[in-house]
Structure 1
Amino acid sequence: MLTLTQDLYDRIVEHARQDHPDEACGVVAGPAGTDRPERFVPMLNAARSPTFYEFDSKDLLKLYRDLDDRDEEPVIVYHSHTATEAYPSRTDVTYANEPGAHYVLVSTADKDGLGEFQFRSYRIVDGAITEEEVQVVEAY
């Protein structure tokens, strides 16, 4: 189960809605080994695409150096789907290289009347997708 604060939930959703119609992407970091998301890190979608996201390689290198310096790890890796449901695509599964992370997908298809808003979380390990419950709390 993914547990995150209302503030983090709201910030992920706001980023997804702000970048629509392009996919938004980012990370929520937390202290290594805790599985507790704490620090919101929105990233630039270098692909600037409504159907694909890609972290800029320089930004990603900077992020991982920063995580190391802070003794943090990516607890949540998130992105949005702008015209489809919040379910990992084949490409999403291929690029899922953080086996300990929660992969959050936000569908903003409701903005264009193409579907309903969704906020869903998955574990993706060795190509296997497992959906998990999301619990939103006021504070930890």
Structure 2
Amino acid sequence: MLRIDRRLVTQMVEHARADHPDEACGILAGPAGSDDPTRFVPMLNAERSPTFYRFDSGEQLKVWRAMDEADEEPVVVYHSHTATEPYPSRTDAGLAAEPGAHYVLIGTADPDVALVCSYRIVDGEITAEPVVVDGEGGDGPAFVVPDPDSDDHPARNKE
């Protein structure tokens, strides 16, 4: 289960909307070993593509070094899907290099409401997980976090 502050979800959705129609990407860093995302780190999609993302290698190196110096780790690795369901593609699963991270996908195909889903990806195996959003509402963009056991969750269509 991913427990996350509403402010961080809002920042990810705002980033995804701002980069649309290209995929947005980034991480949420947190204290090492805590499983607690606390810091929003938007990153450049080096591909600048509506169907694929890749961190800029130079930027990624700087971000990972800064996390090491601050005793942080990537708790969440996120990116958006601009025209398809927020479910990891085979490419996404193959590139998932942080087995302890939550992989959050943000669906931005609906211009009014973003769909926010979280997965664990270990050795290419994708498992949907519940997301608990803490904190008060705000003026940010609208988003929905579906229950992974509901028929509305993108993972249900993949079973």
Is the pair's TM-score, using the shorter chain for normalization, greater than 0.5?
Answer: yes
* Cα separation, 1, equivalents of 2:32 and 2:93: 23
Deviation at 1:118, TM superposition (A): 1.1
SS at match of 1:50: coil
Alignment of 1:9-88 (within 5 A): 9-88=9-88
Instruction: Give the aligned length.
Output: 136
Residue deviations 1:100-132, cap 9 Å, x none?
A: 000000000112x9xx63100000001110000
TM-score by length of 1: 0.94
Instruction: Specify which of 132, 136, 141 is matched with residue 135 of structure 1.
Output: 132
CA-based RMSD: 1.3
- Which residue of structure 2 aligns with residue 107 of structure 1? 107
TM-score by length of 2: 0.83
- Which residue of structure 1 aligns with residue 122 of structure 2? 125
**Matching residue's letter, 2:109:** A
SS at match of 2:16: helix
Consecutive aligned runs of 4 or more in structure 1 exceeding 6 Å deviation: none
The unaligned stretches of length 5 or more in structure 2 are 137-159
Higher relative contact order, chain-length normalized (CA < 8 Å, sep 6+): 1
